[in-house]
Chains A and B, each alone.
Chain A
Amino acid sequence: MVTWDPIRELERFQHELDHLFTGPSGTVHQYPSVNVWTTENEAYLTAELPGMEASDLDISVLGQKVTLSGKRQPREMNENERLHRRERLSGTFTRTLQMPFRVDAEKVAAQLENGVLTVTLPRAEDDKPKKISIQIA
C-alpha cells in the first residue's frame, strides 16, 4: 500500500496542470484553474472546486489583487474500507490573481454552487474613470 502524500500529490497535479494548460505563449497556471469574466465595472472570477465546502475556502482582496486559498480534505477511510482508486486531489492551495482594476473589497460576493466558485468583484468607485467636461471659455 502506497502512503498518501497530499502535498506531493498536489505537486504532481500542478505538474500535470502545467502541462495541460501551457498555452502557445508558454503561460503556466496553478491550482485551481480560474476563468475571469469582465464588464466595465465588474469582474467575475470562477473556479471549479468540486466537493469543497465554503468553510474550507478563503477569499481576500487587496487593491487589484484577489487571493484564493483553501484546503481540500481527503475523505477519511474507515477501518473496514478498502481503497481501489484515488484520483481526486487533496491538499492546500493559495493563488493570487490581478484584476484589471482596483476592487471594492466591501462589496465582494462569493458563491459556491455545485462545486463551482463564482466571486463577484466590483470595481472601486474611485477607480472608475471620471468624465471631465471641457468648458468652453
Chain B
Amino acid sequence: MTEATPTTPANTELKTPEVQSAESPRARRVFMPRADIYETPEAIVVLAEMPGVDEKRVDITVEKNILTLSGRVDPGPLPHGARLAYEEYEIGDYRRSFTLTDQVDKERIEASLKQGVLKVTLSKIAPAQPKKISVKVN
C-alpha cells in the first residue's frame, strides 16, 4: 500500500473540533479539514479544505513519518459595529496529520494553495533501478 494514512479516524465529520488550540492565547477552535487523497504514478496528492486560510498562514511539517498540515484562519475585517445576527458555522484554525509510507520522498514535498484548498504533492521515491554488472572476461 502506498497510501498516506490519516492518523485521525476516516469518518470524522466536517468541522469536528480536533483539539482546543493550546499554544495560542486566542481561544480559537481547531478543525480537521476535509481531504481527498489520490495517487499518480509519480506522487501521492492530498487536497485539504482550509477556507479562510491564505498561503502565508499555512504550515507543513514532516516529523519522522508524520506529515502535519495546519492553517491559521484570517477572519478578515468586518465593518465596525456589525453584529453577528445569525450563525451556522464557527471559524477556526485547521490541523490534520497523516502517516507517510516509506515510498514518499520527504525531501520532495510541494504545496500550493488555491481558493482555500491546500494541495500537497508527495513525490514517490523512484524505484531502485536494477544495476547491471558486466562481467569482464579475461
Contact = CB atoms under 8 A, between A and B. Distances in A.
A associates with B: yes
Interface of A: 13, 16-17, 20-21, 29, 33-39, 42-44, 48-53, 75, 77-78, 80-89, 100, 112-116, 118
A77 B34 CA distance: 18
B83 A51 contact: no
20 contacts: A16-B14, A20-B13, A34-B89, A37-B83, A38-B83, A39-B79, A42-B79, A42-B82, A51-B47, A52-B115, A83-B39, A84-B4, A84-B44, A85-B35, A88-B34, A114-B113, A114-B115, A115-B115, A115-B116, A115-B117
Nearest to A54: B115
A83 B38 contact: yes
Contact of A88 (B4, B36, B53, B74): B36
B88 A35 contact: yes
Given A48-B52, A84-B4, A115-B51, 17 more contacts: A20-B13, A29-B88, A35-B87, A37-B82, A37-B84, A48-B89, A50-B50, A50-B116, A75-B38, A82-B38, A83-B36, A83-B39, A88-B34, A88-B35, A115-B115, A116-B51, A116-B76
B82 A75 contact: no
B78 interface: yes
Chain B contact residues: helix, strand, loop or mixed: loop
A87 B116 contact: no
A93 B128 CA distance: 48
Contact of B52 (A17, A36, A81, A116): A116
A33 B79 contact: no
B9 to A, nearest CB: 12
B135 interface: no
Given A50-B50, A115-B117, A77 B38 contact: yes
Contacts of B74: 114
Contacts of B38: 75, 77, 81-84
B22 interface: no
A115 B40 CA distance: 26
A86 B14 CA distance: 12
B88 A48 contact: no
Contacts of A52: 115
A53 B117 CA distance: 12
Contacts of B14: 13, 16-17, 20, 87
Q: Lowest 8 CB-CB distances: which A-B pairs, in order?
A: A115-B116, A115-B51, A50-B116, A48-B51, A33-B88, A33-B89, A50-B49, A36-B86
A11 to B, nearest CB: 15
